[in-house]
Structure 1
């Protein structure tokens, strides 16, 4: 699908960071102004504009090798002087995020990736790749994916030992390796929802699962109901399927209402008659809140009455950090499956090993009625046929030792969360809730400064998510999303940079 506002003349070719390819996408001044949003909240306008454009390139909103609008046109669209846009483009070129080519004007580029000397998460010794920004490397608080646990290497070793049993066959398992389907089903059963392997489809990550579900249940112009804010890549999947998105509020604090108001949802279902509902019931991304048992039951009832499929994204469910007494969580504190007793044909669950174990595994799954599982397996034939076999075997091994792996993971994540929350509360005048699980914070800035702050933070060497990115309508302009999946040393490095970014936008 062609990105909105981009006039694609021809395909880009690989090139270095300074010399762009001979042809580029073209971004109009009007579209650039819309993408930047509320980019200027204080300080020199040229610097704020350069910061906002840099963030757009880092976030992928403005793809590399995109030709930016002329200085004159952009000045007119933003209502600033041409000297402001001229100085902003010069600052972009000096920082390596833009290049000038004869006949093409100013083109967005990315600086060269470079290995960081900092140790990788969980004590690994492979260098982490970051983008070169003058003065310092980037601390990525936008990506909510922890490093690998120390058990991963041993899991792969055991998977290699199990691999010979599969080598005589073709290597394709469209439904997933039987041992992994059984292990996933057993985990649902253990948590209170009886599940059989024929209710499990193994996918190439949760994102692949969402893609299959959207392609199966939605047609162009169908309505999909979503929480807002919510997981940004789920919004992208639904939009690419042609869905019209209808939001229901996902308040950040209990004082603002329940995590999901069942009455509002039921009313919305009656009014818009959607084909699909997408929810994150546990440690919601990005608010961190979870649905209560009564709210879950009410949502299932509403879905049954409306005859609409609810997709429950449970990729964060295992990452409970606080127990009922406020102390460290135990395995028994993991919420039960959203599917309830498991008999409703209108509830589909999506899970993943990416957040629980490691994103590089690229293994997820769908729990659904066996007929839906068979339909999804047929559809995936045109996408990837089957998921990598060795990774499936490794995830099977990790699930067999899940309690041991997650005990250490929860301790580390809890420490990282507490350090980031404490640092933000001490240094900045924000409202910073501490979620009971998951991987992200959703602090309130006290004003509509999200996009300007995210741009300033990128200029200081920290990537954060601006609130409007996670909404259907550009709301949440007073919030940013920060991941605490990074090691404490990275959190410590990010905090003073965030303070400097705040000073930029508040003067």
Structure 2
């Protein structure tokens, strides 16, 4: 294992000796260096005694700093083996965005999820009326209700991809769908290609399976097809996770020629493509029509995942997988280790909502476009140093900052904001210079959020400006 000497750590951290309490400044300095990649993960830190002597502080001070780093998940220790750098487990970290309590008085800008559309109540009432005909059975259908699978299959067929209901399995949300596919197909040691930045949950699911994560860069300008092809070929990837439709977080849209090229490259590399279409129905501007990635699939290696969460409502917790009939059946058998079936009432609601697809598209386009434009104009007015590309759809801006994202997110809590800093969407502490901002909130709320965001950037949590020199000493 690599190690750092006490002299090297002292030179890197450069914490202000006058900072009070000093142990927090020291811990924050080490954490910032880990997040920026200047101190790699799994590097042995110097012994507390040696670092205290080098810094000319008490050993108690260094012990307190190490304790704070361990508490935050940036340091691991074992008796007799020393301490080494780490990254917090997203499933248990205190700033995990999915564990944030709503209604805590903070503006929830860490989550990109729109509220329910106007048609939801009517669809729910109709679904309740449908319940009696299903109540005579046991309610367990691992593949999903036939009425919903038929509508999903018809949806794909209308988009130019002939699909039978047997090719559809209904899941308890898209995240459940992604976990099922990864859990069934990925073995320990397999290479899995992911975009960078990317939606974090599939990456974590692959890690839990013991996979090797192979990142390929993407920007708001889109994908470099030769880089994607090279990553699949050189790594011998078992699976590649892609989000070609208004990519989260960049908002990029993959054009059809690139989709065709990526599908062809996957075929030559022997890689399965796990394609997340969660944002696919949320075009906000007039964009050239694109085809589902499955339209370019000639040998059944494209697995498509969809969801009711963005077009309709996340509270429904209904997603689906489109694949071969054989793999759909295998997924249904595999899911028994996770759950038995998705809720019947919610499936009936989504089946009814498919009958209102165009109506919901129009509502989402109107409301999200207004929110996007408000967020864009507010940032340009109040934070002109930050740069971004305006996406043509989806629900998020990927913003390049003039400061570090993680300290900004910590400071924002004191100003009533929860944020999604760039490292949530990257690997090993990368993307510290970026922030994902959703435009799924009403324009008025976003205007207030920008005011708070500017205050957090300018003044930190307690009136201290977030300059580069002050970031490492920030409590």
The alpha-carbon distance between structure 1 residues 458 and 341, as it changes in their structure 2 partners (threshold 3 A), is same
Q: CA deviation at 1:38?
A: 10
* Partner of residue 352 from structure 1, selected from 307, 312, 329: 307
| Counterpart residue number, 1:389 | 344
Alpha-carbon contact 2:420-2:435 (below 8 Å) kept: yes
For residues 49 and 164 of structure 1, the distance between their equivalents in structure 2, rounded to whole angstroms, comes to 61
Closer, same or farther: CA 211–110 of 1 in aligned 2, 3 Å: closer
Alpha-carbon distance, 1:451 to partner: 1.3
Aligned: 1:181 with 2:149: yes
Deviations 1:299-323 (A, max 9, x none): 1001111111000000000011111
Deviations 1:428-475 (A, max 9, x none): 11102211111111110135x111111111221111111112112322
> Of 117, 131, 144, which residue of structure 2 is paired with 1:149?
117
3-state SS of 2:162 partner:
coil
Between stretches 212-221 and 342-351, larger displacement belongs to 342-351
Structure 2 residues without counterparts, runs of 5 or longer: 1-8, 32-47, 69-91, 96-100, 461-465, 471-475
Give distance in 2, aligned partners of 1:288 and 1:80. Answer: 49
Counterparts of 1:458 and 1:274, CA distance in 2? 40
Per mean C-alpha deviation after superposition, the further-off stretch among 362-371 and 424-433 is 424-433
C-alpha distance in structure 2 between counterparts of 1:431 and 1:80, whole Å: 42
Distance 2:344 2:232 in 1: 40
Q: Does 2:217 align with 1:249?
A: yes
**Separation in 2 of the partners of 1:48 and 1:262?**
47
Counterpart contact for 2:260–2:296, Cα < 8 Å: no
**Cα–Cα, structure 1 residues 86 and 172, in superposed 2: closer, same or farther, change >3 Å?**
same
CA–CA distance in structure 1, aligned partners of residues 457 and 294 of structure 2: 42
| 2: CA distance, partners of 1:149 / 1:48 | 49
Q: Give the 3 Å change call, closer, same or farther, for CA 39–352 of structure 1 in structure 2.
A: farther
The RMSD of aligned alpha carbons is 3.3
1:309 aligns with 2:272: yes
Contact 1:38 1:451 in 2 (8 A): no
Given candidates 232, 236, 241, the residue that maps to 1:278 is 241
Which shifted more, 459-468 or 314-323?
459-468
Instruction: Tell whether the 8 Å contact from 2:117 to 2:313 is kept in structure 1 after alignment.
Output: yes
Q: Aligned residue for 1:473? A: 428
- How much has 1:224 moved relative to structure 2? 0.4
1:373–1:110 CA distance, 2 compared to 1 (3 A): closer
Shift of 1:489: 2.5
Confirm or deny: 8 A CA contact 2:422 2:434 kept in the other structure: yes
> What are structure 1's unaligned runs of at least 5 residues?
1-33, 57-71, 91-107, 112-127, 132-136, 325-332
1:270 deviation in Å? Answer: 2.1
Q: 1:399 aligns with which of 344, 349, 354?
A: 354
Which residue matches 2:76?
A: none
Partner residue of 1:4? none
Q: 2:254 aligns with which of 279, 291, 297?
A: 291
Corresponding residue number in structure 2 for 1:493? 448
Aligned to 1:386, what secondary structure does the other structure show? coil
SS in 1 for 2:103: strand
> Does 2:401 correspond to 1:445?
yes
- Shift, 1:335, TM fit: 3.4
Distance 1:279 1:184 in 2: 21
Tell me how far apart the structure 2 counterparts of residues 502 and 154 of structure 1 sit (CA, whole Å): 43
Q: Distance in 1 between matches of 2:56 and 2:111?
A: 33
Deviation at 1:248, TM superposition (A): 0.6
Distance 1:157 1:44 in 2: 60
**Deviation (angstroms), 1:336:** 2.2
Q: 1:49 to 1:298 in 2, by over 3 A?
A: farther
CA shift, 1:48, in A, is 12
* Compared CA separation, residues 164 and 418, structure 1 to 2 (3 A): same
The partner residue of 1:338 within 293, 308, 314 is 293
Q: In the TM superposition, what are the counterparts of 1:21-32 in structure 2 within 5 Å?
A: none
Q: What TM-score do the two structures reach when normalised by structure 1? A: 0.72
Alpha-carbon distance in 1 for matches of 2:344, 2:280:
25
SS where residue 443 of structure 1 aligns?
strand
Distance 1:178 1:423, change over 3 A: same
The structural deviation recorded for 1:49 is: 5.9
Q: State whether residues 144 and 342 of structure 2, in contact with CA within 8 Å, keep that contact through their aligned partners in structure 1.
A: yes
The change in CA–CA distance for 1:45 and 1:398 in structure 2 (over 3 A counts) is farther
CA distance in 1, matches of 2:297, 2:405: 40
Could you tell me how far 1:266 is from its partner in structure 2?
Answer: 1.9
The 8 Å contact of residues 130 and 138 in structure 1, kept in 2 or not, is answered as: yes
Q: Is the contact made by 1:224 and 1:276 (CA closer than 8 Å) also made in structure 2?
A: yes
TM-superposed CA distance for 1:401, in Å, is: 0.6
Distance in 2, Cα, partners of 1:80 & 1:440? 47
After TM superposition, give the deviation of residue 130 of structure 1 in Å: 2.1
CA drift of 1:147 comes to 0.7
Match of 1:416 among 346, 367, 371: 371
CA distance in 1, matches of 2:14, 2:422: 13
Shift of 1:423: 0.5
In 2, are the aligned partners of 1:182 and 1:196 still within 8 Å (CA)? yes
Q: Is residue 2:135 matched to residue 1:167?
A: yes
Q: Is the 8 A contact 2:232 2:240 kept in 1?
A: no
Change (3 A) 1:427 1:45: farther
Q: Kindly indicate whether residue 286 of structure 2 is the aligned counterpart of residue 318 of structure 1.
A: no
